[in-house]
Structure 1
Amino acid sequence: MSAYDDLMAFQRQTEALAQVAGRLGWDQETVMPEGAAGQRAEEIGALEAVLHARRTDPRIAGWLAEAVAPDAVGAAQLRQIRRSYDRTMKVPARLAEEIARVTSLAQGIWAECRGREDVAGFLPTLRKVVELKREEGGALAAGGDPYDALVDDYEPGMTGTAIAAMFDAMRPRLVALREKILGAEAPHGVVGRFGQEDQLALSRELATAFGYDWSRGRVDLAVHPFSSGSGHDVRITTRVSETDPFNCFYSTIHEVGHAAYEQGIDPAFALTPIGQGVSMGVHESQSRSYENQLGRSRAFTGWLYGRMREVFGEFGIGDAEGFYRAVNRVHPGYIRTEADEVHYNLHVMMRFDLERALIRGELDVADLEAAWNERFRADFGVAVDRPSNGMLQDVHWSCGLFGYFPTYSLGNVYAGCLVKALRAEVPGLDGMMAAGDVSAATGWLRERLQRHGGLYEPRDVVRRACGFEPDEGPLLDYLEAKFGEIYGL
């Protein structure tokens, strides 16, 4: 066997073990007994130690020095392996294992503290996570910006400076649009109670409509919806509020966007470094386009309105147009995952500024709640009423996912570009979606983007799919046109 073959065989086992680690995380968030949290943290820490040892195995350097890529796919494999090896070598094994162990415990502590609105109870754990992530960022940055180093883990090549510039370009138009909308008459929402089992049954129907392959997946309930896995085992979760069915339906569609990306990757790439989504920004472009540009379109909501009437009967909205307006109602709510398309990026901008300051040491963990509440009042015009609607609402920081939040907005930007190209190339799309058929859109995304996995760099795969360089313009144009029409601006 050649050095390339030896390296790929070794890497296949590493990728398989990483999938096992991901499955432990899925189990922890869905069906693990509450009393198992401490043991699970040790298990995840131990497995991370094994993975770190494999990813820093001295043989990798030798194989990389000798390996000759057989083709473009092989070159992409070597690029990803080299990048992972270089990054992992900078992080001590002790630190990698400790981060895995502490963040596993932290997720359970966060959920408990969130349930009892207890910021003080969560702060010692969060402080430990932040300290560990600062240390990791410093090790990776090697004298550079530690936050940039953490962002690079989720969006290769992206920096905090570039993200800040993107947000500076987006904010004025978003704020101006928001102010115009909030001065207009707000549409009515749905009223009534919507049973859990009926919601879950309809959410499964939605997942199927958006192309989720049930032979390689399943849906479960979780505190914070997520997607997990790749290849032939890609699982999603959702959540249910009996007074707000949109929470369940659009969380499901969002997570199906993530899952469809993983399921749509070329099967020949399975259990290889390019057998996963290339970045979280590109990942979010799929989930956000599924959820918003497609799932909240007038055409698709017309079909969903009919299905909800069949399942739930009357719920206070008299026609499909009123339902479309209700689904797209703009209001300055507390919760990011429930935010409308106009406010969503403002939520992300706030988190980006706060977490960047935390990692840089410019904001102390003890001052985070006050900083959050002050910023939220300034950006949204209302005071945070309780911690679960404030700094305790998101699971990300307990998981150590610093640098992840800005990829949501980057995904929105990519989605704006992708759907602009999609609509230009797929005539009659609205007619199909009005019948509940989203396959033309999801098929276009699978062919143009999803199947490539990590074959290309993040911006490159979006550019190839769209035919133009991605920027924030198409997203902002889409938002202004859509909500201008809805609100008669």
Structure 2
Amino acid sequence: MSAYDDLTAFQRETEALGAVAGRLGWDQETMMPRGAAQQRGEEMAAMEGVLHARRTDPRLGDWLAAIDDSALDAAGQAVMRHMRRDYLRNTKVPARLASEIARVTSVAQGVWAEARAAEDFAAFAPTLEKVIALRQQEAAAIADGGDAYDALLQDYEPGASAAFLEDLFGAMRPRLVALREKVLGAARQPAALSRDFPADQQMALAAEIAGAFGYDFNRGRIDKAVHPFSSGGGADARITTRTAPRDPFNCIYSTIHEVGHASYEQGIDPSYWLTPLGRGVSMGVHESQSRIYENQLGRSRAFTSYLYGRMTDRFGDIGIDGPEAFYATVNRVHSGYIRTEADEVHYNLHILMRFDLERKLISGDLPVADLPEAWNTRFEADFGVAVDKPSNGCLQDVHWSVGLFGYFPTYTLGNVYAGCLHEALRKAVPDLDAQLAAGDTSMATAWLREHLQQHGGLHEPRATIAHAAGNQPTEGPLLDYLDAKFGDLYGV
């Protein structure tokens, strides 16, 4: 057991250093002065060099070889599973490559933000080419002759493959497209908001709603960022959001979404903190929490009736007559450009498009110079709208600038998982709507914390969902939920 004790003590320090690196990333998107970008890139590269050295330290291999997993309890065995997998992956990646990826992606984030603001894809293209080339090198090292995209996917959803996702998405697409066509062709079309909402009041309401969903401000904070995200975990789980004058839902629902992520991290058993079990087990499972908070709970008829009251109390007349009309406005289906603002009917179509495009970028079948045309052509085919500017097209998301290839499909996996969890939650809490209508999410969030969040990385991703939902995850519950909700809302 001394080998296990030595291993976990060493890993605890590595996890702590990783949290420090994560805080540098949070600062870069929220507080860092613009002129510090190049220096921050060097700082991130230095941190990655230290972390990579620890993650590939030969003593890890010795300790892993000396430990008898069968002598450990379930948590210990799970720790070993994570560490063996991570050690095998990390030892395949040269230290210089790991540091260079950290440096380039840190700088690339700022280049992307400036290009997005200037509507200038050409200014970002050379940097994106560097990022992709580095990720291709990394994927080749990890894959060891296998599929490069599958190798990258393991960082976000262990055990998944492009073939599995292609089959899943292929099964979902016909029903999503059919529902979209019925809804957009319906005679009943909800109104949109059409007045300005002060940014400071939006942020105040967002903080109130975050508290209503159980976000612990003693271990977190809300800031503004270009692209909303959550960062950290355990005793320090931070979130960001953004405001738009005529779209307070952007702020409110981005906040609820990120609260779902942060609540997962805050809900993990404290004995797991600073261990491989002390974080969300995969991005798909992570997204299941953000999406069920945002959609099945936050956009429900019951909760929006409560939110309508809070909106009118804070803003006065918002131009929507009553809770039922407000519910329809919150869930209004339209072919918008922006993924993070997409309704539940369109959202997964955004992801399916990105999944196809990023696979081609990594394989080399899609040159970066051709990305805008490929994006715009696919978007118009899927959404019936021509992209008008790069910030509404291939410059809208931060993910590729920071090298997160393989991340996008986990959003739809998260939706699928959320559909299964919601089905089980409804059975476990039959009076859920009455509670949500009063702004009380405590029973729902407690159920999620007990059945999923507290376990962190104890189980593998799909087993985590099966443990909570009571059966293996499939796309059926999500598609049934969407058909029922929007069929009722639009009378189709």
State the SS of the aligned residue for 1:331: coil
Hey, what does 2:286 align to over in structure 1?
283
State the SS of the aligned residue for 2:223: strand
Hey, what does 2:87 align to over in structure 1?
85
**Counterparts of 1:85-234 in structure 2 under 5 Å?**
85-184=87-186, 185-234=188-237
* 1:232 partner letter: A
Hey, what does 1:66 align to over in structure 2?
66
- Paired residue for 1:333, among 313, 331, 336? 336
Hey, what does 2:465 align to over in structure 1?
462
Q: CA deviation at 1:440?
A: 0.6
Q: CA deviation at 1:192?
A: 1.1
d(CA) in 2 for partners of 1:130 and 1:62? 34
* 2:365 partner letter: E
State the SS of the aligned residue for 1:317: coil
Hey, what does 1:18 align to over in structure 2?
18
* 2:161 partner letter: T
Q: CA deviation at 1:242?
A: 1.1
Deviations 1:218-247 (A, max 9, x none): 000000000000110000000000110000
1:8 aligns with 2:8: yes
Deviations 1:50-101 (A, max 9, x none): 0000000000011001123431110000111111100001111111000000
d(CA) in 1 for partners of 2:387 and 2:193? 24
* 2:335 partner letter: P
- Paired residue for 1:413, among 411, 416, 419? 416
Point out where structure 2 has 5 or more consecutive residues left out of the alignment: none
Hey, what does 2:323 align to over in structure 1?
320
**Counterparts of 1:434-473 in structure 2 under 5 Å?**
434-473=437-476
d(CA) in 1 for partners of 2:319 and 2:261? 32
d(CA) in 1 for partners of 2:184 and 2:58? 59
State the SS of the aligned residue for 2:154: helix
Point out where structure 1 has 5 or more consecutive residues left out of the alignment: none
State the SS of the aligned residue for 2:155: helix
* 1:414 partner letter: Y
Q: CA deviation at 1:191?
A: 2.0
Percent of matched pairs sharing the same residue = 69
* 1:89 partner letter: T
State the SS of the aligned residue for 2:238: strand
State the SS of the aligned residue for 1:154: coil
Q: CA deviation at 1:391?
A: 0.3
- Paired residue for 1:390, among 370, 393, 403? 393
State the SS of the aligned residue for 1:220: strand
Hey, what does 1:271 align to over in structure 2?
274
Q: CA deviation at 1:462?
A: 0.3
Kept in 2, the 8 Å contact 1:4–1:68? The answer is no
d(CA) in 1 for partners of 2:214 and 2:156? 25
- Paired residue for 2:360, among 357, 367, 372? 357
Q: CA deviation at 1:186?
A: 1.3
Kept in 2, the 8 Å contact 1:141–1:149? The answer is yes
Deviations 1:348-406 (A, max 9, x none): 00000000001011111111011000000111111000000000000000010000000
For the aligned residue pairs, the C-alpha RMSD in angstroms reads: 0.6
Give 4+ residue runs of structure 1 displaced > 2 Å after superposition: none
* 2:83 partner letter: I
